[in-house]
Amino acid sequence: MVMIMATATREKFSSQAAPEVLQALRTIAENQGRQFQAVLDEALRDYIDRQQKETPRRHVMTAFASSLDEFDHLYRELAK
C-alpha cells in the first residue's frame, strides 16, 4: 500500500465530531510531534482504505456457512 501523506492542494470542509474523538486526535498529534491536520488526514485515508477493501460476496459466505454446518464433524476430525 502506497500512501501519499502530503499533497499540494487541500480543500477546506466543515464537519462535527465528538469532543473525545477530537481530543484523542489532538493528543496523538501532540505525542507524535505532528500537525492535527496530518493525523486527521491519515485517519481518513485509513478509513477509506478499510472501506474499499473487497469483502467476500454474500453467496460465497452463505456457501461457506452451509459447508460448516454440513461438514462440521469432518472439519473437527481433520483439525485434530
User: Tens digit of pLDDT per residue, the chain (80 long)?
Assistant: 445 555 568 899 999 999 999 999 999 999 999 999 999 999 999 988 888 887 777 888 889 999 999 999 998 999 98
Read off the pTM.
Answer: 0.58
Q: Tell me, what amino acid is at 25? A: L
Q: Quick one: pLDDT at residue 6?
A: 52
Q: Quick one: pLDDT at residue 59?
A: 84
- Is residue 75 classed exposed, middle or buried when 0-12, 13-18 and 19+ CB atoms within 10 A define those classes? exposed
Domain ranges of the chain: 19-79
Whether residue 5 contacts residue 38, with contact meaning beta carbons closer than 8 Å, is answered with yes
C-alpha span between 60 and 57 (Å, rounded):
5
